[in-house]
Copies of this chain bind each other. A is one copy, B any other.
């Protein structure tokens, strides 16, 4: 099972709708495939220019480790040097906080990840989950 571009677009559009409904700051959303490669990305007008890298880092770490942002953050708080080292081996591309959401098949396999940034990490993650569910995908925050 793979994430189609059509599904990725739905995730992004519905995440933005949820962000607007929640009154969040402008969001940026990336959708990665099971190999950690970008399928689609959008940055809302008014977001800071560097948001691609943050969104990507949240999602990339999730795919590469098979661990969603919340679990990564817990590990970073327990053992900061471990997550710093993980970041090093992945070329500095891991941002271990909520808003990095795993996409899973019904059987539990990781089929990609979504990265959302722009508001607080928890709000980012909440908007992401709404987008993921709207696309009939299964997310793990």
Contact = CB atoms under 8 A, between A and B. Distances in A.
Interface in A15-60: 33-50, 52-54, 56-57
Contact of A82 (B47, B48, B64, B95): B95
B80 A80 contact: yes
A97 to B, nearest CB: 6
A33 B2 CA distance: 14
A56 B89 contact: yes
A89 B9 CA distance: 24
Given A43-B38, A45-B4, A47-B66, A85 B87 contact: yes
Nearest to A57: B89
B49 A63 contact: yes
